Amino acid sequence: MNVVFIAPGYPSEMPHFVRGLAEHGAHVIGVGDQPVSALPELARQHLSEYLQVASLRDEMGVVGALTKFMGARTVDRVVALWEPAVVLAARIREALGVPGIDLEMAHRFRDKDIMKQVIQAAGLRTARHARAATSAEVRAAVEKVGYPAIIKPIDGAGSMDTFRVDTPQELEQAIARLGHVAEVNVEEFIIGEEYHYDTICADGRVLYENMGYYRPKPLISRSNEWVSPQTLAVRDLSQPHLQPGITLGREVLKVMGFKTGFTHMEWFLTPSGEAVFSEIAARPPGANTVDLMNFTADIDVFTGYAEAELKGTFTANRPRAYNAINIFKRAQGQGRISRIEGLAQLMERHGEHVILVDLLPVGAPRRDWVQTLISDGYVVIRHPDWDTACRIADDFGTDLRLFAD
């Protein structure tokens, strides 16, 4: 199969998906706006060809360049596992007659207001919502949904540029900070725990499922630099409190018409046990969450996805033996990392449960914690028992400290 892979070098998980497709026999043709020499080595090793374009934002320019590049050759699949490339991939599919997510469905996954309209029309529970493109429309939308409200970009990813507003004063502050965002979705604030439900599907069949959890809630993590955010992959998916989310997730996939590929859905579990839909993306979760899926069962989800995409099967499924947790660290101070404290002691206490330590080295400049959840590095731990896993993760959250000056 000729598989066109958009942005094979970014985000950091993409080269592993390229590897998976190549290992399952695909002829992988990368399309990106960076020179091939700038691609990660893993991507270069497994790409069969590479087309550099001027800009991935110029969708019709990319379609024209790829059409010329392919000539008389056929394209069997177009893969876009990075959120901003989902619509571009749909345009390529329509232009070249390739099966998969078409333009209408792509917009359904990218536009949060259209998405919620589709879900609501199917009778599934989601937050009250309204779209807004001006300050006046934002104020009117908040009047409609009521306080507290959430304001987020209509086509955003993660919790970037997302604000909770509880008062008119906070609303005005959020409007002032959203001047660079063209259009937003204003939503009812749902009280509940925040989870994500991830799937790999083929021909409308769910072949693999993952349930994730955020500690603390993403908005808290995004608002407080001192927090060490955690993302968790749950070992036991049969737990009763997770069933409403799994049921909701499967229904959402049907309503959205999703057939083949990776999905990432976020949902709330309210105190009454109700599952409330938040949003869904036609891509895997970010921030190294696919690695957590691997660590729960010692499998390779990257090649598992490729198998599902190319062959319609997922033979990598094994029983989940562990809860796996990413603990992301943010240094105290600004500038370059000057020292790391507590790691040796933590490894003495919990080393057998530590899977990976990837912290910025001394001398490296700090990353912008607002722009990336990975921040200044992370530690991955796993344990079969949920409470024990969370306790170990909290130890790394509090006792591991990075300093910058």
Query: Percentage of the chain with pLDDT > 70?
Result: 99
Per-residue pLDDT tens digits for 12-22: 999 999 999 99
The interaxial angle of helices 103-110 and 112-121, nearest 10 deg, is 100
For 35, residues 6+ apart whose C-beta sits below 8 A from its C-beta are 52
As a whole number of angstroms, the distance between CA 270 and CA 39 comes to 43
Give residue 260's pLDDT band: very low, low, confident or very high (50, 70, 90). very high
Mean pLDDT of 84-89: 96
Extract the tokens encoding 148. Answer: 């507290």
Instruction: Confirm if 319 and 42 have CB atoms less than 8 A apart.
Output: no
For 152, residues 6+ apart whose C-beta sits below 8 A from its C-beta are 112, 159, 161, 162, 163, 184, 185, 187
Mean pLDDT of 244-253: 98
For 106, residues 6+ apart whose C-beta sits below 8 A from its C-beta are 86, 87, 89, 90, 282
As a whole number of angstroms, the distance between CA 207 and CA 309 comes to 11
Structure confidence at residue 386 (pLDDT): 97
Per-residue pLDDT tens digits for 272-282: 999 999 999 99
Mean pLDDT of 38-60: 98
Give residue 158's pLDDT band: very low, low, confident or very high (50, 70, 90). low
Mean pLDDT of 189-218: 96
As a whole number of angstroms, the distance between CA 168 and CA 174 comes to 10
Per-residue pLDDT tens digits for 384-403: 999 999 999 999 999 999 99
Mean pLDDT of 303-309: 98
For 315, residues 6+ apart whose C-beta sits below 8 A from its C-beta are 304, 307
As a whole number of angstroms, the distance between CA 221 and CA 227 comes to 6
CA distances 268 to 1, 279, 285, 324, Å, are 39, 10, 16, 20
- Hey, which residues does 196 pair with through a beta bridge? 212, 266
The 10 Å CB-count burial string (b at 16+, else e) for 295-334 is: bbbebbbbbbbbbbbbeeebebeeebebbbbbbbbbbeee
Give residue 317's pLDDT band: very low, low, confident or very high (50, 70, 90). confident
Give residue 159's pLDDT band: very low, low, confident or very high (50, 70, 90). low
Does this model's pTM top 0.85? My answer is: yes
The 10 Å CB-count burial string (b at 16+, else e) for 29-43 is: bbbbbeebeebeebb
Give residue 157's pLDDT band: very low, low, confident or very high (50, 70, 90). low
Residue 284, helix vs strand vs coil: coil
DSSP per-residue string spanning 45-74? HH-SEEEE-S-TT-HHHHHHHHHHHHTT--
99 pLDDT more than 60? yes
Per-residue pLDDT tens digits for 323-335: 999 999 999 999 9
290 pLDDT more than 90? yes
Mean pLDDT of the chain: 95
Residue 77 identity = R
Structure confidence at residue 216 (pLDDT): 93
Where on the phi/psi map is residue 302: left (φ > 0), alpha (ψ -120 to 50), or beta?
A: alpha
Mean pLDDT of 257-282: 96
